[in-house]
């Protein structure tokens, strides 16, 4: 085995997960200005629902769509019942509402699904691919390909379709968008729905390779948030940021060891945050 | 919140602590009080940084853990405790100062990322060097065992009381107003003359010092420190605790720490429903009591007490008004000069080669359709933007490179939508400006000057109302009166007449004339042509960042190109 | 406090229907029932609660009921210290600690004057002068059992994976102490707790000449190690750590079982390996009764919970005044406590088991049994 090739493969796998989570966070951020801290719960819900249904003997073509649907419903509910009635609230308070939603979801999942970690069978099985001394299981390939393709597709949709442009108009100025005939509520529902689908999809793709439990949500939110922040919360760059983060973590682990990972990666993160915000003054209101 | 009220609540808390200590509250013992008091002390730092100033600091747990790590490492090296503790604190405060220098400039979410990253780095380093830090198994502190439970309880409560005392002494009057102004609107705060970055760095350092003292004592009391104690999860928990207690309130950290600890002690009886109850409580608090439990408790009290505390008797010190007024100026002397100013954002030119001369004692107007570059020009004059090329001169001095807050004494600016701090009274909003112009005067003198300013503009009857109780038109007049405090050579008014009733319009005209008589150069952006024609002397017409006409108001209003560009755009 | 106690007593009296409430023995237990160590805490707590019900149903101990008071430390040292103070103030005659390294270490200094605290964490090696007793073998003992397994199979190479948490750190230290002495060469890689995948680490340490791989990673995240193992189609037997000998863990990896899954476990996990028929009966009775009461299977963590309960049971039955911490300590130092295996403490050693109590087990057909030799 070649450790370098294996690092690149492993880095792409976790990078694809980072990218999927980050795109979901960015979608919500761009329509509501809210960093949705309950985003990772869509991963936990998707993973736990899929695992429970798989344990009940249902096949993948049943449990995967149902799990994704559960994630979609969850984030739609967060938008509809928690955020929409509080549109006029300061952003900071809304972020805290999503944090509270995450805490409550965690508690409910503990009661409903138990505390033990769960997993379910892979959808993509068969002999692993061997590339230049590295090994990639079919499920890992699916994770990279489906993950990155979906993230890119959502980005293209945002940038180049009339509906995507409407979503972004909502982000820039909700009142103006409303005047231009965009239904802001519907746009936000759509954004949260897609974000939920991405969260559920990442669970369906990743969980067979690891495990999921009731408290997985906040950790996943944190991963997505780090990638999203690295990418400046912009839809196209967060995918690169996610992949870059995954690859750099893998390479640091390979060359410097797992203990060096956090200090090195997070010092880089601080440097990027400082560099990215060098021109923004006054809490982002510099162009007043 | 007024100081008297804070002290009152602190006293009630002290009594409650006493009651708790006697064992009258189920689940509370002197050892829980020790932990609660030390955590509350550390939380007071987060309260300053996040609750009062509004900085999203996601790494305060690291500032609690760091001094304990430093002290523990020094202890292993044989440094005596009495040297190690103060040295560890000093090191952390210096480190916080350095971190603040880098991070407080970051806006909102980026500050969150930066501080979160800092916490992760500290956690990671603590894990990576077990021979120094004890690693993941934890660093053990032996010295704490030398004190009994009651000694620790006394240390904790005295430290907390000392922390509260310092807070009450420091965060009041001008400091409180300044911090709330920054929290509400950083741009408006800097235009008033507040050095926003310096203030934020200072608060970040002071807040981290609170976290450091609290953490240092807490971990010596607990006896073990593990890397997770420095990490992001603990920092998030702290934010949750603070919100529950009431962010921004003096007693918020104490109430929050007590409730969480108490919940923790009694939650054994909730068994597996614990997380659901915690989540539901937290959700209810953020949705229905965003001011936390302190806010809920203080609301009826506040209603009873009114805001009497703020109506402290104001000593009349009329002569001190002169102390902030600049020398009386000779009308007609050139005051503001712009030389060939160009501003571009990326490839877009917002202003192209604009030159201006505004004389003392005249009203100068900027005319043009939306997007003409008027607000950009205001931003350049007030220092919010640095022009791509060209110079700005004031009274013959080049101020192009002077930061916003340092030119605030020379330039008063009102905004299109008035940017007053909503939770302060009208008077306090004006005092906020006096605070910056004459920081050396006593609180009473500054209040007197602010009152005098409101009186001069016939707004004194609004002085003790809260901003929310005042109509939009009146808020705009207050904003202008505030901008004019100290009689600055230049006053910039951004669409002052929009949204005013006809009575308020007359009031506004009178105010502007008064400014003119006092020798201020008034620069005004306004769409109300009738109003502008009546009040302004000269002006310049801008379209897409370029000058298309200039001269007396009568002349420029007659220009065909102006009619086309300006009235065309309006209709 | 009095109100609380009164409430507890009233509840107890009502539930047992006793005419007069005898003063109960209060047994405090610290166990993380939320947070990342939920499984560890809940399984052990559940075993201790099984004991409480069983003892009280049989009329208590010397006529007095047992009251188990649980405190959730969430796996945090600070909360753990609060828990221990709280449980002491509630009158616990003996403390059980089902938490992990950091929190247990935070609790230990609070016991300068007792009461006795019992914990099953192999990472803790209490000072013989303290009031702390450990019911498992030490981590060094567990590592020795791997070394002797390798020697029996005439192997001198090992690849070892350890997490970046406390058990990983202790494991790394034990490996450095044990393996070189036994002439075993080992390659070590650490894995971050957030990692989705262990393939980088495995690619670095599993060289062709390595015949056995040991993963010291405990808890749910360890699933990623087993799954990566499968992804890389590695054929070497994989030894997992002490805390992973659980149904929950097998359930997570059941779709990705390696060719041979081994683990360092207590012999009681495979009762047929116990030489003493009394011990075997004790374990088998527990397995049956526990299953009947909770509808759940017994695994290593539940058995460790039972060692806590058995120790408390022995103390309450045999020590004249269990409130006197010094006599409890003397009792435990001088009398072996029969549990799933014999717990043998002494004046010089507060660790209850040794390397002899541990065996390398193998997971075969849904059961842990004695491991077959490695080719």
A207 touches chain C (CB under 8 A): no
> Which single residue is written with the structure tokens 């008077």?
B427
Cα C61 to Cα C317: distance, rounded to the nearest angstrom: 6
- At C357, phi and psi to the nearest 5? -80, -10
CA atoms within 13 A on the CB side of B77: 11
Q: Which residues of B touch C86 (CB under 8 A)?
A: 27, 29, 31-32, 265
Alpha helices in B223-333 (DSSP H): 232-245, 252-266, 274-288, 292-305, 320-324
Q: What pLDDT is attached to residue B564? A: 66
In the DSSP assignment, the letter for residue C61 is B
Q: Do A266 and B272 touch (CB under 8 A)?
A: no
Is the pLDDT assigned to residue B426 strictly greater than 50?
yes
* Spans of all domains in chain B: 3-308, 324-570
Cβ–Cβ contact A131 with C under 8 A: no
Neighbours of chain A (3+ CB pairs under 8 A): B, C
Report DSSP state, residue B51: I
Read off the pLDDT of residues B49-72 as tens digits, 9 standing for 90 and up.
999 998 989 899 999 999 999 999
Q: Is the pLDDT of residue B446 over 60?
A: yes
Q: Does A255 touch chain B (CB under 8 A)?
A: no
Calculate how close chain A gets to C83, using CA atoms only, in Å: 22
CB A116 within 8 A of CB A109: no
- What does the CA dihedral A52, A57, A59, A63 come to, rounded to 10 degrees? -20
Positive or negative torsion for Cα C159, C162, C167, C173 = positive
- Read off the tokens for C60: 């208590």
- Three-state secondary structure call for residue B247: coil
A230 contacts A244 by C-beta, under 8 angstroms: yes
Q: Residue A233 above 60 pLDDT?
A: yes
For residues C92-125, one letter each, b for 16 or more C-beta atoms within 10 angstroms of the residue's C-beta and e for the rest, the string is bbbbbbbbbbbbbbbbbbbbeebbbbbbbbbbbb
The C-alpha torsion from B265 through B269 and B270 to B274, rounded to 10°, is 30
Backbone angles phi, psi at B134, to 5 degrees: 80, -10
Residues in B touching A82 (Cβ below 8 Å): 287
Which tens digits make up the pLDDT trace of C41-51?
889 999 999 99
Q: Can you tell me the distance from the alpha carbon of A42 to that of A72, in angstroms, rounded to the nearest whole number? A: 7
What would the mean pLDDT of A230-249 be, rounded to a whole number? 89
* Residue B120 at interface with chain A, using a CB cutoff of 8 Å: yes
> What's the CA gap between B141 and B150, in Å, rounded?
19
Stretch C219-238: mean pLDDT: 86
- The shortest C-alpha distance from C90 to chain B (Å) reads 9
Mutation choice for C interface testing from B37, B68, B138 by most C CBs within 10 A: B138
Give pLDDT, residue A52: 95
Q: Which of B493, B485, B477 is nearest to B420 (CA)?
A: B477
Burial zone of B15 (CB within 10 Å; 0-12 exposed, 13-18 middle, 19+ buried) = exposed
Of C4, C78, C102, the CB nearest to B26: C4
- Tens of pLDDT, residues B223-241: 889 998 998 888 988 988 9
Q: How far is B99 from chain C (nearest CA, A)?
A: 26
CATH 3.40.50.2300 residue ranges for chain C: 2-136+278-353, 139-270+358-370
DSSP A78: I
A120 touches chain C (CB under 8 A): yes
Query: Which residue, among B326, B320, B316, has the nearest Cα to B518 in the 3D structure?
Result: B326
CB proximity list for A142: less than 8 A, separation 6 or greater: A123, A124, A205
pLDDT for position C2: 43
Taking 90 as the threshold, does the pLDDT of residue B419 lie above it? no
Domains of chain A, earliest start first: 3-284 (1.10.3470)
B233 backbone dihedrals φ, ψ, rounded to 5°: -65, -45
Cβ-Cβ contacts under 8 Å for C328 (sequence gap 6 or more) = C93, C94, C114, C115, C116, C315, C319, C322
The tally of CA atoms less than 13 A away on the side-chain side of residue C258 is 28
Q: Length of chain C in residues, anyone?
A: 375
Q: Do B257 and B23 form a contact (C-beta atoms < 8 A)?
A: no
Nearest-CA distance C211 → chain A (Å): 15
For the residues A33-50, what does the mean pLDDT come to?
A: 94
For residue A172, what are the contacts with CB-CB under 8 A and spacing of at least 6? none
* Contact (CB, 8 A) for B521 and B362: yes
Domain at B3-308, CATH from 3.30.70, 1.20.120, 3.40.50, 1.10.3470: 1.10.3470
Min CA distance, A273 vs chain B (Å)?
6
Give alpha helix (H) positions in chain A: 3-32, 39-55, 60-77, 91-113, 138-160, 162-172, 174-179, 184-206, 216-230, 235-256, 258-276
- Asked if A126 reaches chain C (Cβ–Cβ under 8 Å), the answer is no
User: Among residues 159-178 of chain A, which lie with CB inside 8 Å of chain B?
Assistant: none
Distance CA B253, CA B258 (A): 8
**Burial group, residue B172, by CB count within 10 angstroms (0-12, 13-18, 19+):** middle
Highest mean pLDDT among A125-129, A213-217, B65-69: B65-69
Pairing of strands B334-345, B389-394: antiparallel
Name which of A196-205, B341-350, B371-380, C230-239 the model is least confident about. B341-350
The percentage of chain C sitting over the pLDDT mark of 70, rounded to a whole number, equals 94
Residues of A (233-252) whose Cβ lies below 8 Å from C? 250
The 10s digit of each residue's pLDDT in C255-289 is: 889 999 999 999 988 888 888 999 999 999 999 99
Length of chain A: 288
Closest CA to B530 of B493, B555, B548, B557: B557
Contact flag B286-A259 (C-beta cutoff 8 Å): no
**Chain B residues inside the 8 Å CB shell of C72:** 264, 267-268, 274
H-only helix segments in C254-299: 277-294
Identical fold for domains B3-308 and B324-570, yes or no, is no
C68, β-bridge pairs: C27
Angle at B440 between CA B413 and CA B162, to 5 degrees: 110
Distances (CA, A) of B142 to A27, B31, B83, C105, C114: 51, 18, 16, 12, 17
Written as six digits, the tokens of C20 are 């007069």
Instruction: With beta carbons under 8 A apart, name residues in chain C contacting A261.
Output: 192
Written as six digits, the tokens of C296 are 């759940």
Q: Which residues, in sequence order, are bridge partners of residue B543?
A: B546
Among residues C305, C325, C332, which one has the least CA distance to residue C93? C325
What's residue C349's pLDDT?
95
Answer for the pair B460, B451: CB distance below 8 angstroms, yes or no.
yes
pLDDT of residue C14: 45
Question: Under CATH, to which class is B324-570 assigned?
Answer: alpha beta
Contact A46, A68 (CB under 8 A): yes
d(CA A38, CA A146): 23
Looking at the complex, report in whole angstroms how far the Cα of residue B220 sits from the nearest Cα belonging to chain C. 10
Protein fold of C2-136+278-353: Rossmann fold (3.40.50)
Instruction: Give me the total of CB pairs closer than 8 Å, taking one residue from chain A and one from chain C.
Output: 109
Residue in the block written with tokens 């509809």: A80
Asked if the Cβ–Cβ distance from A104 to B276 is below 8 Å, we say yes
**Per-residue pLDDT tens digits for B323-364:** 444 444 555 677 888 889 998 876 678 888 999 889 888 999
The residue behind tokens 């842990």 is C368
What single DSSP character describes residue B326?
Answer: P
CB contact under 8 A, A273 and B110: yes
Mean pLDDT of chain B: 84
For residue C292, report the phi and psi dihedrals to the nearest 5 degrees.
Answer: -65, -40
H or E element in which residue B531 lies: helix B529-535
CA atoms within 13 A on the CB side of B261: 30
**Residue range C1-25, pLDDT digits in tens:** 444 444 554 444 444 444 345 789 9
Give the mean pLDDT of B447-472. Answer: 87
CB B390 within 8 A of CB B399: no
Strand partners, C136: none
Condensed to tens digits (0 to 9), the pLDDT of residues B405-416 reads 888 888 899 988
- Output the pLDDT for position B321: 43
CA-to-CA dists, residue C356 to B118, B287, C23, C147, C327, angstroms? 46, 58, 40, 12, 29
At A2 the three-state DSSP class reads coil
Tell me the two tokens of residue A208. 């067979």
What phi, psi does B322 have (nearest 5°)?
-60, -30
C327: its two tokens: 């006599």
Tell me the CATH architecture of domain C139-270+358-370.
Answer: 3-Layer(aba) Sandwich (3.40)
């Amino acid at each position: 085995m070649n450790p370098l090739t294996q690092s690149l493969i492993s880095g792409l796998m976790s990078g694809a997960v980072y990218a999927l989570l980050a795109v979901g966070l960015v979608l919500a951020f761009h329509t509501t200005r809210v960093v949705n801290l309950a985003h990772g719960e869509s991963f936990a819900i998707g993973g736990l629902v899929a695992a429970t249904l798989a344990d009940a003997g249902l096949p993948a073509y049943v449990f995967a769509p149902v799990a994704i649907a559960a994630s979609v419903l969850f984030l739609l509910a967060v938008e509809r019942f928690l955020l929409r009635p509080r549109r006029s609230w300061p952003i900071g308070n809304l972020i805290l509402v999503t944090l509270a939603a995450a805490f409550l979801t965690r508690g409910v999942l503990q009661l409903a699904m138990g505390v033990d970690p769960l997993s379910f069978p892979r959808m993509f099985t068969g002999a692993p691919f061997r590339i230049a001394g590295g090994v990639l299981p079919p499920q890992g390939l699916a994770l990279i390909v489906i993950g990155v393709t979906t993230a890119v597709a959502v980005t293209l949709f945002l940038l180049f379709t009339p509906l995507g442009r409407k979503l972004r108009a909502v982000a820039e100025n909700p009142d103006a968008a409303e005047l231009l005939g965009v239904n802001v509520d519907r746009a936000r529902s759509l954004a949260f729905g897609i974000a939920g689908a991405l969260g559920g999809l990442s669970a369906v793709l990743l969980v067979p390779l690891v495990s999921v439990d009731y408290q997985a949500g906040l950790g996943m939110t944190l991963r997505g948030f780090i990638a999203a922040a690295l990418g400046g919360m912009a839809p196209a760059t967060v995918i690169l940021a996610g992949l870059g983060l995954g690859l750099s973590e893998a390479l640091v682990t390979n060359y410097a060891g797992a203990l060096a990972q956090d200090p090195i990666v997070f010092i880089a993160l601080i440097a990027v945050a400082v560099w990215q915000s060098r021109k923004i003054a006054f809490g982002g209101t510099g162009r007043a | 919140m007024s100081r008297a009220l804070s002290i009152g609540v602190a006293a009630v808390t002290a009594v409650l602590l006493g009651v708790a200590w006697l064992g009258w509250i189920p689940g509370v013992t002197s050892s829980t009080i020790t932990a609660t008091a030390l955590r509350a002390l550390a939380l007071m730092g987060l309260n300053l940084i996040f609750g009062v100033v509004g900085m999203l600091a996601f790494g305060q747990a690291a500032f609690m853990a760091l001094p304990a790590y430093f002290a523990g490492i020094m202890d292993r090296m044989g440094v005596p405790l009495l040297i190690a503790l103060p040295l560890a604190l000093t090191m952390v405060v210096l480190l916080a100062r350095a971190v603040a220098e880098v991070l407080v400039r970051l806006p909102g979410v980026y500050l969150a990322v930066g501080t979160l990253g800092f916490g992760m780095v500290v956690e990671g380093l603590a894990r990576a060097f077990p021979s120094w830090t004890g690693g993941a198994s934890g660093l053990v502190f032996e010295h704490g065992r030398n004190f009994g439970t009651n000694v620790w309880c006394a240390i904790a409560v005295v430290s907390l009381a000392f922390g509260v005392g310092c807070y009450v002494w420091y965060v009041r009057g001008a400091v409180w107003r300044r911090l709330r102004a920054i929290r509400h609107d950083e741009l408006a705060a800097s235009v008033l003359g507040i050095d926003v970055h310096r203030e934020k760095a200072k608060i970040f350092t002071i807040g981290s010092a609170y976290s450091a003292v609290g953490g240092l004592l807490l971990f010596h009391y607990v006896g073990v420190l593990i890397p997770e104690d420095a990490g992001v999860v603990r920092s998030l928990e702290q934010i949750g605790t603070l919100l529950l207690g009431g962010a921004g309130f003096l007693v918020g950290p104490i109430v929050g720490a007590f409730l969480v600890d108490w919940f923790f002690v009694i939650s054994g009886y909730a068994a597996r429903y614990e997380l659901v109850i915690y989540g539901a409580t937290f959700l209810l608090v953020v949705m229905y009591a965003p001011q936390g439990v302190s806010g809920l408790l203080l609301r009826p009290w506040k209603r009873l007490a009114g805001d009497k505390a703020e109506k402290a008797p104001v000593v009349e010190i009329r002569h001190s008004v002169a102390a902030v007024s600049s020398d009386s100026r000779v009308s007609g002397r050139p005051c503001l000069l712009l030389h060939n100013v160009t501003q571009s954002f990326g490839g877009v030119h917002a202003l192209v080669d604009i030159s201006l001369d505004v004389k003392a004692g005249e009203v100068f107007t900027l005319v043009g359709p939306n997007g003409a570059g008027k607000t950009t020009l205001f931003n350049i004059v007030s220092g919010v933007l640095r022009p791509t090329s060209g110079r700005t001169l004031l009274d013959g001095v080049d101020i192009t490179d002077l930061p916003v807050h340092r030119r605030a004494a020379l330039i008063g600016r009102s905004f299109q939508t008035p940017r007053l701090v909503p939770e302060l009274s009208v008077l306090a909003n004006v005092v906020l400006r006096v605070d910056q112009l004459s920081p050396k005067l006593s609180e009473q003198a500054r209040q007197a000057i602010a009152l005098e300013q409101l009186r001069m503009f016939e707004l004194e009857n609004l002085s003790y109302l809260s901003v929310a109780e005042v109509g939009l038109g009146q808020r705009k007049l207050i904003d202008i009166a505030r901008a004019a405090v100290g009689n600055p050579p230049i006053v910039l008014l951004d669409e002052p007449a929009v949204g005013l009733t006809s009575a308020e319009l007359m009031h506004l005209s009178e105010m502007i004339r008064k400014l003119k008589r006092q020798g201020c150069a008034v620069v005004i952006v306004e769409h109300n042509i009738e109003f502008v024609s009546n009040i302004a002397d000269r002006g310049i017409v801008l379209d897409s960042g370029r000058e298309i006409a200039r001269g007396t108001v009568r002349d420029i209003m007659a220009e065909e190109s102006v009619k086309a560009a300006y009235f065309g755009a309006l209709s | 406090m009095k109100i609380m106690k009164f409430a507890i007593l009233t509840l107890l009296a009502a539930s047992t229907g006793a005419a007069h409430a005898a003063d109960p023995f209060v047994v405090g237990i610290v166990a993380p029932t939320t947070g990342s160590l939920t499984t560890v805490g809940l399984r052990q707590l559940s075993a201790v609660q099984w004991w409480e019900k069983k003892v009280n149903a049989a009329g208590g101990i010397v006529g007095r009921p047992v009251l188990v008071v649980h405190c959730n430390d969430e796996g945090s040292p600070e909360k753990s210290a609060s828990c221990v103070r709280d449980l002491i103030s509630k009158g616990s005659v003996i403390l059980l600690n089902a938490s992990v390294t950091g929190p247990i270490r935070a609790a230990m200094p609070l016991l300068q004057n007792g009461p006795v605290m019992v914990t099953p964490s192999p990472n803790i090696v209490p000072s013989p002068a303290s009031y702390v007793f450990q019911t498992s073998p030490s981590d060094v003992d567990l590592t020795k059992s791997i070394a002797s397994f390798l020697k029996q199979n005439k192997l001198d190479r090992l690849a070892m994976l350890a997490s970046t948490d406390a058990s990983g750190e202790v494991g790394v230290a034990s490996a450095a102490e044990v393996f070189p002495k036994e002439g075993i060469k080992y390659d070590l890689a650490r894995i971050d707790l957030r990692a989705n995948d262990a393939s980088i680490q495995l690619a670095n340490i599993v060289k062709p000449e390595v015949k056995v791989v040991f993963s010291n990673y405990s808890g749910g995240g360890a699933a990623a190690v087993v799954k990566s193992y499968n992804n890389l189609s590695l054929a070497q037997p994989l030894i997992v750590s002490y805390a992973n000998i659980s149904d929950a863990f097998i359930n997570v990896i059941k779709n990705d079982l390696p060719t041979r899954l081994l683990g360092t476990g207590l012999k009681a996990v495979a009762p047929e390996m116990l030489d003493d028929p009394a011990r075997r009966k004790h374990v088998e009775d527990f397995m049956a009764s526990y299953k009947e009461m909770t509808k759940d299977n017994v695994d290593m963590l539940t058995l460790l919970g039972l060692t806590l309960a058995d120790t408390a049971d022995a103390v309450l039955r045999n020590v004249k005044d269990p409130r006197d911490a010094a006599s409890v300590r003397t009792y435990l130092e001088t009398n072996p406590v029969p549990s799933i295996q014999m717990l043998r403490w002494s004046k010089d050693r507060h660790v209850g088991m040794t390397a002899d109590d541990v065996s390398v087990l193998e997971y075969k057909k849904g059961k842990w049994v004695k491991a077959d030799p490695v080719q």
